[in-house]
Structure 1
Amino acid sequence: MTKLIVSAGAIPAAFLAACSIGGLRVALAPPDSGAAAASGTQGGAGDGEMKVLAQGLKAATDEVKRFAEKAEGEMKSLGKLTDETKAAADKAITEMNGKIGEFDARLAEVEQKAARRGGSHATEVKSLGQHFIDSEKAKSMLADGSSHKGSARVSIETKNITSATSTVGTGVSAGNSLVPADRQPIVGLPNRTLRVRDLITPGQTSSSNIEYPAETGFTNAAAPVAEGNLKPKSDITFDLRSAPVRTIAHYFKASRQILDDAVGLASYIDGRARYGLQFVEEAQILYGNGSGANLNGIMPQASAYAAPSGVTVTGETPIDRLRLAILQATLALYPASGIVLNDTDWARIELTKDTQGRYIIGSPQGQIAATLWGLPVATTLAMAVNDFLVGAFQLGAQLFDRMAIEVLVSSENEDDFIRNLLTIRAEERLALAVYRPAAFVKGNLVTPTP
């Protein structure tokens, strides 16, 4: 569907509502942008024809605008459009739609030709001799006749005739106009699945420190009371705690040339910069020790696993232990909402079979989301093998973003400016508040052998 861009306010809303526009979509844009949009087509062959089509389209659009102005006047004076004006306007719009269709067809043809040629931005490869023949000085000398006397000096950029392949210390990829490089897509390293943040309640802050009262004790003395008797007194104790905002950051160095020459490299670096922050962020959420610039993670604050009394398990398995940890959180009055495991441990659980060789949890042909005992399982390599974390994530903790991930590119320092280098810096600021440490239970899936 073609989108016709016209000047803002050129076609009144009343006119658009009254006329049968059909499939035409009208986008309002700043004045004079319509002409640019109509003429901004593929370069190269077909430019002349495209300009003619663009002029025809502009004329049709002007005709619609004329009727729009007339319609606006009638709406103000009569409160409606006359049948004559409406019919003429419908005809003008129909003709404009036809021009748009003709313009679309020709544009598609030009794009297809450009694609077969390898794109409108393909670089022409010339030999050293061709560079000489195409130069104006050589053409002038050869045009003098059969004598071919005189000389012609032709300057050619060194990079156009070099065949060096070394990229060490240059910041420029191998390849040149004589031996063009076969550019392949960027082969990146795999990204680790990041899911722990998704379990925690999100938040925003404009401060550098989060302060919150944490409940440290509760004595429940509630009881039935006879009429006229004193009511029992319960006690709740709190402790004021803080979660300072921490910064996670790193940077890259890259030459301006390589970012200019390697298509997609800038966006790729941006993606890797963001991923690097998220990778460390997840480890900090789980294991940050709270010292220095580290977050105070959940694992150091979580309650240690202790098998609840009243339940006896024979031949305990990791699946059994996770169920008991869920019970421990429930008995602490914090019903668990999720489980965090290392990918290796989850694979071992999924491969568990019964005495007949049937999978208990996993299904080789299934695509069911990872769940256990009715709770979602977040698998992450940030969790150490054999460790587990069960808890009421949304109730027990909150992650505050002071500054979302920011990626900046600069050449402001003197060294970068002189060397034509760019510094790419990525950073984020966040705070983790663990409101209720008792809402989390940590432990080992299998008790280590002494």
Structure 2
Amino acid sequence: MNMLTSAAAIAAASTPLEFGRKDGGAEPDIKALQTQLEGALNTVKAAAEEFRAKAASGEQISNSAKEKADEALTKLTEIRGEITELSQKLAQGRRGEGDPALKSMGEQVGASEAVKSFAENGARGTIRIPIEQKAITSASVSAGALSRPERLAEIVSLPMRRMRVRDLLMPGRTNSASIEYPKQTSRVNNAAPVAEQAEKPASSYTWTVATANVRTIAHWVPVSRQAMDDTPQLESLIDGELRYGLDIVEEAQLLLGDGTGQNLYGLIPQAVAFAAPAGITAPGATGNGSVDMLRLAMLQAELAEYPATGHVLNPIDWAIIELSKDTQGGYLFANPQQLAGPTMWGLPVVPTQAIAQDKFLTGAFNMAAQIFDRMDTEVLISSEDRDNFITNMLTVRAERRLALAVKRGAALVYGDFGRV
């Protein structure tokens, strides 16, 4: 048996079963079968009516009538079988010439020119036979509605910044619209040893009343009632997004607010400028001047009697410090194998993009300022805003109210690394 004969055998074995007549005769026409079916049904119906009438009158049913009825039922069953097989064949689609997509794999192998050439050349070596297959797509002629995207439960949100500046400050609460507090502005200390009955020296102190007004940070978003009802997670997602929006603005206000209009009066505008204390020169042996400046800022705050409690840096500046290396390539201020929090000179470092690159703020934050929360974050949903009722919309609003009292600006040192 040569390879061509073998391929033909494979094709014959792979050919799907045909529906229709099994005796090799011509396949009946569907209309003819319908006519035959109607005739058989009428014969069976007439026999049934005849049997019913005779049974009602008590007459006996002859054997010839029974045989005639049995013959009609047998014919009816055969016609139904042929119609069923023909319908199945039509549903599958008649395989015509020139339609390789409907040929079986065996037929494609047998008809392959590569197989014929392989057999004619003595069946030596190896051949590749391309098998054409019908692709399943999302088109209506293929998978159609059966191909549906998979919906994941998780909703992918944009990244959110970690807020940590508030944690550096002393917390507080108020029920008023503003905070007033006496603030000492000068101190002249003339205390000295004095002789008996001598006049004692007088010292001088000056205070003023400072005010920190409560400010409101707020925003809102419109949402359709249908969207809120159809997506159970949407309400909590909007709540989280609105709260985050307040947080990111609050952090910027705590650091940079200039006190004008409805802005808070923040830490940096009230801090003292960095100035290296007299009598000390940084050796610069580390090769990173930023580290020396942070230590000198700590000294500046301590000489003002406000021992520093932390540093605020831009993440880029903190990365520059952590990547500092010695001449042997070893890290000076970081150990990549440890998971310790960011610290410098024993104080916590707060990296935040709320402060500009190349800037730093060092100081005694808990002594320098205090936050007074007037109203915690409140998220409300209303259908009574403007034309919400007739447009079936909802307004979701979030707001919080707070005041920032910077009581000791001298406890904060703001500087520039000078790299940019």
Aligned partner of 1:273 in structure 2 is 242
Mapped contact 2:385–2:395 kept (Cα < 8 A) = no
* Residue 192 of structure 1 pairs with residue 161 of structure 2: yes
Encode CA deviations 1:140-176: one digit per residue, 9 max, x unaligned. xxxxxxxxxxxxxxxxxxxxxxxxxxxxxxxxxxxx9
Cα shift at 1:309: 0.3
* Residue 353 of structure 1 pairs with residue 325 of structure 2: yes
Aligned partner of 1:295 in structure 2 is 264
1:386 to 341, 350, 358: 358
Mapped contact 1:409–1:423 kept (Cα < 8 A) = yes
* Residue 340 of structure 1 pairs with residue 312 of structure 2: yes
Distance change (3 Å), C-alpha of 1:314 and 1:179:
closer
Equivalent position SS for 2:232: coil
Cα shift at 1:422: 0.9
* Residue 431 of structure 1 pairs with residue 400 of structure 2: no
Aligned partner of 2:180 in structure 1 is 211
Distance change (3 Å), C-alpha of 1:246 and 1:286:
same
Aligned partner of 1:310 in structure 2 is 279
2:151 to 154, 179, 182: 182
* Residue 253 of structure 1 pairs with residue 225 of structure 2: no
Mapped contact 2:217–2:250 kept (Cα < 8 A) = yes
Cα distance in 2 between the residues matched to 1:446 and 1:394: 27
Cα distance in 2 between the residues matched to 1:374 and 1:230: 48
2:387 to 415, 418, 434: 415
Q: Percent identity?
A: 55
Cα distance in 2 between the residues matched to 1:219 and 1:352: 45
1:370-409 counterparts in 2 under 5 A? 370-409=342-381
Distance change (3 Å), C-alpha of 1:365 and 1:216:
same
Cα shift at 1:232: 2.6
Cα shift at 1:186: 1.0
Distance change (3 Å), C-alpha of 1:178 and 1:419:
farther
Mapped contact 1:215–1:436 kept (Cα < 8 A) = no
Equivalent position SS for 2:335: coil
Aligned residues: 273
Cα distance in 2 between the residues matched to 1:221 and 1:424: 60
Cα distance in 2 between the residues matched to 1:179 and 1:317: 59
Aligned partner of 1:362 in structure 2 is 334
Cα shift at 1:260: 1.4
Cα shift at 1:447: 5.7
Cα distance in 2 between the residues matched to 1:433 and 1:189: 33
1:284 to 246, 253, 273: 253
1:240 to 196, 209, 221: 209
Equivalent position SS for 2:334: coil
Greater relative contact order, per chain length (Cα 8 Å cut-off, separation 6+)? 2
Distance change (3 Å), C-alpha of 1:352 and 1:259:
same
Distance change (3 Å), C-alpha of 1:286 and 1:228:
same
Cα distance in 2 between the residues matched to 1:216 and 1:429: 28
Cα distance in 2 between the residues matched to 1:179 and 1:357: 55
Encode CA deviations 1:194-252: one digit per residue, 9 max, x unaligned. 00000000010111111111111112223333444333322221121111110000001
Cα distance in 1 between the residues matched to 2:273 and 2:408: 14
Mapped contact 1:338–1:378 kept (Cα < 8 A) = yes
Aligned partner of 2:77 in structure 1 is none
Structure 2: 5+ residue runs without aligned partners?
1-144
Aligned residue type for 1:198: D
Aligned residue type for 2:360: F
- Farther-moved stretch of structure 1 (403-412 vs 257-266): 257-266
* Residue 321 of structure 1 pairs with residue 293 of structure 2: yes
Distance change (3 Å), C-alpha of 1:220 and 1:414:
closer
Cα distance in 1 between the residues matched to 2:146 and 2:153: 17
Cα distance in 2 between the residues matched to 1:362 and 1:218: 43
Aligned residue type for 2:344: L
Equivalent position SS for 1:216: strand
Equivalent position SS for 1:264: helix
Cα distance in 2 between the residues matched to 1:363 and 1:178: 51
Distance change (3 Å), C-alpha of 1:191 and 1:216:
same
Cα distance in 2 between the residues matched to 1:231 and 1:364: 62
Distance change (3 Å), C-alpha of 1:267 and 1:356:
same
Distance change (3 Å), C-alpha of 1:299 and 1:414:
closer
Cα shift at 1:271: 0.7
- Farther-moved stretch of structure 1 (225-234 vs 322-331): 225-234
1:111-150 counterparts in 2 under 5 A? none
Cα distance in 1 between the residues matched to 2:326 and 2:306: 32
Cα distance in 2 between the residues matched to 1:177 and 1:432: 60
Cα shift at 1:378: 1.1
Mapped contact 1:342–1:381 kept (Cα < 8 A) = yes
Mapped contact 1:251–1:423 kept (Cα < 8 A) = yes
Cα shift at 1:425: 0.2
Structure 1: 5+ residue runs without aligned partners?
1-175
Aligned alpha-carbon RMSD (Å): 2.0
Larger radius of gyration: 2
Cα shift at 1:356: 1.4
Equivalent position SS for 2:252: helix
Encode CA deviations 1:30-59: one digit per residue, 9 max, x unaligned. xxxxxxxxxxxxxxxxxxxxxxxxxxxxxx
